[in-house]
Structure 1
């Protein structure tokens, strides 16, 4: 049952945050890039709220860093009441928020031509990737502005689809391009409040979402071709580097990708 309806804080806390521990929210923390980043932060001593649709997968993530302090919160980022409950729980359990890794997302139906994509499918991708990112960023921004000492950092997962599209990916590509605008606006509006915002564009990290790339994926010339992937831990270390900079410094945009993937020269 949603904590907003019961009056109880969402999620459950594992471990005890130290007084000066840095705190983070990672969305989409139950798998893939979100899981890798959450574990990297936990092992580095951060207290981390793990947000995702399935509590059991969040608990699996937490178990990968048993000595860390984690808070598992069932969250559908496209639902405003879920996002409000998530950040309320973070405030109650951790007291402050230093980082939001805005990562939750969905590719949507693959291989569907533009003219055949249903509005429901389009709307699901937009609600998750764009509206969900906005809702989480807004809640984090509000908390970072109000807390004492003021400030914090937001890192958006843009994907290299924020720069160039894949064939038949109009919903995903559109939302990821929009995230770049979200990142820039947050960066500008956050200046007076010591809120930094950056974006990481990731290409072919080895996760369940990219498994099909090993077998062959549609290229711009219409052919199917396998693509190389990189270890997702390389992405996690990059996010941690961005997260641990002092607020006087910011990685505005970073692109991390498998070296030989068809990105430079895609076409």
Structure 2
């Protein structure tokens, strides 16, 4: 049985992806702060393991990874998904503490999870595994008033490329999925004020992650964009 840890697994893209992997027979470690939600998922699926932790807490994350690998035996994949949007405002109206919070979650938390996964994959036998980082269309083009989120997602692209390069020596593949307007609570909040916003079923995003994860380690989706077709991403919008 293949194994994966998914961060941000209690809702949105993370939960949809976790449920799809569980339906596909994977052993899935569920990381998020809301332990009661993770337990509900774990009570529904025999191969789900609830691992409540804050991705910015390095000690808690280390304990969660250790608990998972002690049960699963190894770690085949990480879906590095947890993130937050932060304040929607021009840069001069963004409080410094909120900037730091988004940076800490979207970059710091992703670094911690990737570091733990890489170390496990490098040490295990047979060596190797796959890290899939959740970027965003904002890793390429921003929305207005999104300086915190957009900056961090550009950082994720750099993280992905360096892990991909460093992983060649130990059979650790790394790719990035950039998802546009999957129907989650975060997108629903945006759509409430932008009623014409095109969206897609979140399951399509989950299926794309599953495709990336199921490839053999001698093949890799380095970068994938999956989005609602009518989004003004291509061209001038």
Under a length normalisation based on structure 2, what TM-score does the superposition of the two structures give?
A: 0.97
Cα deviation for residue 34 of structure 1 reads 0.1
Cα deviation for residue 60 of structure 1 reads 3.2
Aligned to 2:230: 260
Query: Is 1:178 aligned to 2:155, yes or no?
Result: yes
1:10-25 alignment, distance < 5 Å: 21-25=1-5
Cα deviation for residue 265 of structure 1 reads 2.5
Give the 3-state SS of the residue equivalent to 2:133 in structure 1.
strand
Aligned to 1:203: 180
Q: How many residues align?
A: 237
Query: Is 1:228 aligned to 2:208, yes or no?
Result: no
Mapped partners of 1:168, 1:189: distance in 2: 34
User: Which among 66, 83, 99 is matched to residue 88 of structure 1?
Assistant: 66
For the pair shown, the structure with the greater C-alpha radius of gyration is 1
Query: Is 1:128 aligned to 2:105, yes or no?
Result: yes
1:54-65 alignment, distance < 5 Å: 54-63=34-43
Name the CA shift for 1:114/1:145 in 2 (closer, same or farther; >3 Å): same
Aligned to 1:247: 217
Cα deviation for residue 67 of structure 1 reads 4.1
Give the 3-state SS of the residue equivalent to 2:220 in structure 1.
coil
Give the 3-state SS of the residue equivalent to 1:211 in structure 2.
helix
Mapped partners of 2:190, 2:97: distance in 1: 26
Mapped partners of 2:128, 2:203: distance in 1: 27
Under a length normalisation based on structure 1, what TM-score does the superposition of the two structures give?
A: 0.86
Aligned to 2:86: 108
Cα deviation for residue 90 of structure 1 reads 1.3
Mapped partners of 1:74, 1:188: distance in 2: 31
Q: Which has the higher helix share?
A: 2
Q: Deviations over 1:33-75 (max 9, x none)?
A: 0000000100000000000001112123335xx3440110111
Mapped partners of 1:58, 1:42: distance in 2: 13
Mapped partners of 2:210, 2:29: distance in 1: 15
Query: CA-atom RMSD, angstroms?
Result: 1.2
List alignment gaps of at least 5 residues for structure 1: 1-20, 218-224
Aligned to 1:192: 169
Runs of 4+ residues over 3 Å off in structure 1:
60-63
Cα deviation for residue 82 of structure 1 reads 1.4
Mapped partners of 1:134, 1:92: distance in 2: 22
Aligned to 1:38: 18
Aligned to 1:214: 191
Give the 3-state SS of the residue equivalent to 1:171 in structure 2.
helix
